[in-house]
């Protein structure tokens, strides 16, 4: 990964309390896993931003190296990598996702 791409990803992750790197965007997800993440965050009623990896090949490949996670979507909350769709679903079902997003938004 180039230093420029790492800096770009660092800035994106730090700029948003809740950020989802996904296929499509929150209004039009382009895959089922991305849609699942959007639906969970919408159900919690929290503001979040999305980055469409389909529009930027450098980010699509770079985010996988950045997080050391091979799949999309990828969710960052308060600057920390949380995981993908399965991990988000697990946290959501346990009620832990609500706590994570509430703390992030309050900080």
User: Tell me, what's the pLDDT at 23?
Assistant: 97
Mean residue pLDDT across the chain: 95
pLDDT value at 61 more than 90: yes
Calculate what percentage of the chain has a pLDDT beyond 90. Answer: 97
CA separation for the pair 60, 72 (Å, rounded): 8
CB-CB contact of 37 with 73 (8 Å): yes
For the stretch 75-94, pLDDT in tens is 999 999 999 999 999 999 99
Label residue 22 by pLDDT band (50, 70, 90): very high
Bridge-based pairing of strands 28-29 and 24-25 is antiparallel
User: Tell me, what's the pLDDT at 1?
Assistant: 87
| CATH fold for domain 3-106 | Glutaredoxin (3.40.30)
Residue 87 CB burial class (10 angstroms; 0-12, 13-18, ≥19)? middle
């Amino acid at each position: 990964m180039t230093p420029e791409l790492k800096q770009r990803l660092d800035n994106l992750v730090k700029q948003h309390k809740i950020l989802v790197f996904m296929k499509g965007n929150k209004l039009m997800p382009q895959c089922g896993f991305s849609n699942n993440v959007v639906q969970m965050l919408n159900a919690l009623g929290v503001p979040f931003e999305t980055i469409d990896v389909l529009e930027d090949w450098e980010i699509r490949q770079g985010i996988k190296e950045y997080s050391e996670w091979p799949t999309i979507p990828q969710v960052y909350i308060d600057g920390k990598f949380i995981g993908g769709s399965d991990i988000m679903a697990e946290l959501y079902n346990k009620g832990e996702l609500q706590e994570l997003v509430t703390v992030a938004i309050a900080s």
